[in-house]
A and B are shown apart, each in its own frame.
Chain A
Amino acid sequence: MSDFEVLRTLSFGQYLPTGSILHRLDPRVRLTGVVLLALALMVNPGPAVGLLGIVLALGLLLLARVPLGHALRSLRPLLPLFAIVLALQMLFYPHRAALAAGSPLVWQWGPIVVSAASLVGALAMMLRMVAIVLLLTLLTGIADTTDLVHAVEGMLRPFQRLGLPAHELALVLAITMRFIPLLGRELERLMKAQAARGADFGRGRGNFLSRARRMLPLLIPLFLAALRRAEELALAIEARGYAGGRGRTCLVRLRMRPADFLALGIALALAALLVFLDRGG
């Protein structure tokens, strides 16, 4: 196993072209729908919401024909955090206020009290996190990077009249996504090349400043590579006559069909449900 596999961490979020109904929706609806649901989950702190969110997410994943194993695997990095959430809640929750408000005492050891409210709070957070990660897995499963860029551009386009450079911003997003694997490979090569010269990167000995300096052999070439490629790309784009998004013909025209409006409506309704459901907690 290599120490240098940088891109491994980024293999989260595989696009799975299963051709389900969700895949056939307008990319803007796919993006907005998922984001709305995720936002709704973030806004409502209640515990029941998390559970409902998970049910919804699983249902949507099923609809999208995303294999369950794949979705569940994306939850693995969350597990260590659950322990931390639990610990934090138990330590820092305003237990006494909760007990005074009627929440049952769960555990008492000397001066430390733990109210049921804090545990409920922890559970709510964990369920919410699971739901959001499942939604994100859903989104990356039903939309690849091109879809996402089209979606963003499509949604920003109405604001172009107000001076917002929608196309330019979408292009930035597209370039970012393109450059991540590109620079990631470059980074891997740099790490190996410098390691071959005996470098170690800020791990281990020395004070903080020397550790920071030891990262320069990686950081400087990385930034320079990024800027250099940016320059080359800029020349290439301009050489092909790009002059901004105004008046530019679009190859892909996004058009909302009745199914898209229906899906959006359902998403809005579900989001509203999530926001207003059982706000206790």
Chain B
Amino acid sequence: MEQALIEVHDLHYTYMRGTPLETTALCGVDFSVFAGEIVGVIGPTGSGKSTLLQHLNGLLRPQRGTVRVFGQDLSNPRVDLRAIRRRVALLFQNPEDQLFERYVADDVAFGPLNLGLPLEEVRARVRRAMEAAGLPPSFENRLTWALSAGERRRVALAGVLALEPEVLVLDEPLAGLDPRGRRELAALLRGWQRQERRAVVWASHSMEEIAGLADRVYVLAEGRVVLEGPTRQVFAQGEVLARWGLEVPAVTQMLVELARAGLPVRPTALTLEEALPLLEEVLR
């Protein structure tokens, strides 16, 4: 049995514990990530996705339960968090807000410089990361403040890719982008994953987004994992998902309706590409 890169067991977390404003975000979550896979974390807003993700690189320490990353128990106060963050990189929601350097290349270099890498290596990583993020070399000397939001997001992405992590954790990476921006960024991310063969954790509230991407999926609601397993299996449970306010992709829903109407079509497709052959079969 393959060893998990990240193993989360019975994780609990409450914000502002002990104050009148305390809120429980996670109550007993089990979660794991294996090498080279794309794991989706789906859930409505407030389900605890971000909280879970922030445990994966030690930004949050477990209050109850364990988080093991590359074999290290993150409850141990002596764990070198910077070493962990070198291997597990987290891209926050709306990451374009975190840029602070004047020039693109400098901001992308921030991460590798923090790792203490030699200058030449940093420069090489900056170039590789910018390319992976779809930023041509001409962007190196552009002013970050003069870029569009979409371009700034790519700079932020490059900044995280430059860490060359073994696990890339994405918190709603496509949020706030227009459809074309979403398509482009999703393609970039998929390209990076395929090329580098790294593990990716992708959190989103949109099932449609995760449909064609993830190998396995966790469905989070109210701080708990309510469904878990290979993507197809999870997406087949439309009623459970609906109960939590989550809708299967439009395509799958359409197939379900067609099946209900009597057509001999199996509602297992998750994306348009998968649906087309099924429909063709039926129409013949």
* A residues at B contact (CB < 8 Å): 1-2, 4-5, 7-8, 11, 14, 186, 189-190, 192-200, 216-217, 220-221, 224-225
Contacts and interface: CB of A to CB of B under 8 A. Distances in A.
Contacts of A220: 100
Contacts of A217: 98, 100, 110
B89 A196 contact: yes
B16 A5 contact: yes
Interface stretch (B58-66, B133-141, B257-265, B270-278): B58-66
Contact of B98 (A2, A4, A14, A194): A194
Contacts of A189: 92, 97
A5 B23 CA distance: 13
B163 A197 contact: yes
B114 A197 contact: yes
Nearest to A4: B59
Contacts of A225: 97
Contacts of A7: 16, 21
Contacts of A197: 85, 89, 110-111, 114, 159-160, 163
A186 B98 CA distance: 10
**A interface SS class:** helix
A133 B22 CA distance: 24
B187 interface: no
11 contacts: A5-B15, A11-B16, A192-B54, A193-B92, A195-B59, A195-B85, A196-B89, A197-B85, A197-B111, A217-B98, A224-B97
B85 A221 contact: no
A197 B157 CA distance: 11
B21 A11 contact: yes
A66 B104 CA distance: 54
Contacts of B111: 197-198
A196 B16 contact: no
B57 A196 contact: yes
B20 interface: yes
A190 B98 contact: yes
Contact of B90 (A196, A200, A224): A196
B82 interface: yes
Contacts of B16: 5, 7-8, 11
Contacts of A190: 97-98
